[in-house]
Structure 1
């Protein structure tokens, strides 16, 4: 495993930087440091695209929207949505979770993990069950009802697509909950987690940060070998495996450390900026 200052694994040409937000680009207080802001701007000025790739929904992207420079593209909800931050989070693409499949996942998790409660993220709002623990971060629910009722087709807005199903458990250990859930429903949908609590995120089968990032890169003629990715939690593992070069943060989950090709400093120590600065220094080295 290489260190933050040993960049032997960096590719000769870096065309895109893909970075997670919480626990990665953002400090624990949810701010972006001045050093990181400068590194992102310098990367884009050098012609390197920067994609924010996160489990957050588009409406939570205000933490970085003011730092967008030339590109402004974000992959949100673990790959289920692509948004343009320059246009206030305008949805460019959606990879939804089929409502009937989501309902089957709910039934499977209720049987496998009694006590589980659910919330649903759609393109038009956030909805949760009465027993779902207190409001999901900064959101006020649009609707409070059972998951079964929430997953019925929204006749008032047929365009409302399910972006993500959330499952929370008050007693299970987070990794154990994920293992149980994948055993019960892993053939139906993509299940992962990014929270330190027992909160799982469920997307359509095959939908992940990695698969959507790969699609976005293909549209731009960018190969995996030209991508450098950063992450800290299990929902980043597929992306770190896909990218030609990847870094686990100093505060990363063990599965992320195992998946990444390198390690950098923790999020509170500007680990992403450290690597971007090295990439930019390498661009200016005399050619052999």
Structure 2
């Protein structure tokens, strides 16, 4: 029996317009009515979530954000846990990547501030919206006690599927390394061993829920560990080819209401 549904947001539950599809909303509501818990597990920062999750009637639970670095209680509007990078680790990785990719742009996110180096694009409605932005060289503008939840590098001209292993080879012993945005040569880094799956496993255990009682959905490499841990982990057919190859189960594409289709089937089995 499924007791918990854990899902990525972008490309999984919501589209480029940041809206849920009607069938997805209906399936999530049906799951909640059946007593199944829902937790959103996203690479997005918590500051960006309230407007999106407001589309889910009655959603006042938790969201695991920033690829696991921040746990946010949506109903209370409060950060309840953070898992941060040691400052010396950020600077060591930054020195290596800055030397390897001299034209790259860099970002370091804390709970309340985003530090940017280079010509970082700040898009309306994007993940940097509602953030305090500070520009400069990261080695100079980050304070020694900065609590960095995510460190990012973007290197234009690269295929992200090629850039990911290259960055991992350079700094993978210092930080966890992943990729979350389709077609964007943006690599995301966090504390060693930190990923969506590890944090979701702890979240479930605290509630007495085992892996075989969890259904999880995602579409990008940053969802890998979550989908492999969950007893029912599904990679969307519209997602990353490398993720689909690494995960045992797939579900139909986002435009085909893939997540909703699976939830409907799971609820039918348990009714």
Per the TM alignment, residue 261 of structure 1 is displaced from its structure 2 partner at its CA by 2.4
For the pair 1:145 / 2:132, whether they are aligned, the reply is: no
TM-score, normalised on structure 2?
Answer: 0.93
Q: 1: distance between equivalents of 2:34 and 2:59?
A: 11
Q: Deviations over 1:114-148 (max 9, x none)?
A: 3222111111121201x233215253652101111
Q: Deviations over 1:250-286 (max 9, x none)?
A: 21111211222222121122111111111111122xx
Structure 1's unaligned 5+ residue stretches are 1-12, 155-159
For the pair 1:74 / 2:60, whether they are aligned, the reply is: no
2:174 corresponds to: 188
Q: Deviations over 1:184-223 (max 9, x none)?
A: 0000000101112100111000111011101101101111
Q: Deviations over 1:90-113 (max 9, x none)?
A: 101101111111111111112333
Q: 1: distance between equivalents of 2:86 and 2:255?
A: 38
Kept in 1, the 8 Å contact 2:59–2:75? The answer is no
- Work out which of the residue numbers 81, 88, 105 in structure 2 matches 1:117: 105
2:230 corresponds to: 243
For the pair 1:41 / 2:29, whether they are aligned, the reply is: yes
1:275 corresponds to: 262
2:245 corresponds to: 258
Q: 2: distance between equivalents of 1:63 and 1:100?
A: 35
Say what the alpha-carbon RMSD is for the aligned residues: 1.6
Q: Deviations over 1:59-103 (max 9, x none)?
A: 111212341536521100000011111123x10110111111111
1:166 corresponds to: 152
Q: Deviations over 1:149-207 (max 9, x none)?
A: 233325xxxxx521101111112221221111100000000010111210011100011
Q: 2: distance between equivalents of 1:29 and 1:97?
A: 32
Relative contact order (alpha carbons < 8 A, sep ≥ 6): 1 or 2 greater?
1
Kept in 2, the 8 Å contact 1:103–1:151? The answer is no
Q: In the TM superposition, what are the counterparts of 1:85-100 in structure 2 within 5 Å?
A: 85-88=74-77, 90-100=78-88
2:47 corresponds to: 59
- Tell me, what secondary structure is at the counterpart of 2:106? strand
Q: 2: distance between equivalents of 1:249 and 1:52?
A: 16
- Tell me, what secondary structure is at the counterpart of 2:56? coil
Q: In the TM superposition, what are the counterparts of 1:173-252 in structure 2 within 5 Å?
A: 173-195=159-181, 196-252=183-239
Q: 2: distance between equivalents of 1:238 and 1:84?
A: 23
The number of aligned residues is 265
- Structure with the greater alpha carbon radius of gyration: 1
Kept in 1, the 8 Å contact 2:151–2:189? The answer is yes
Task: Classify 1:15/1:119 alpha carbon distance in 2 versus 1 (closer, same or farther; 3 Å).
Answer: same
Q: 2: distance between equivalents of 1:169 and 1:141?
A: 23
Q: 1: distance between equivalents of 2:63 and 2:54?
A: 10
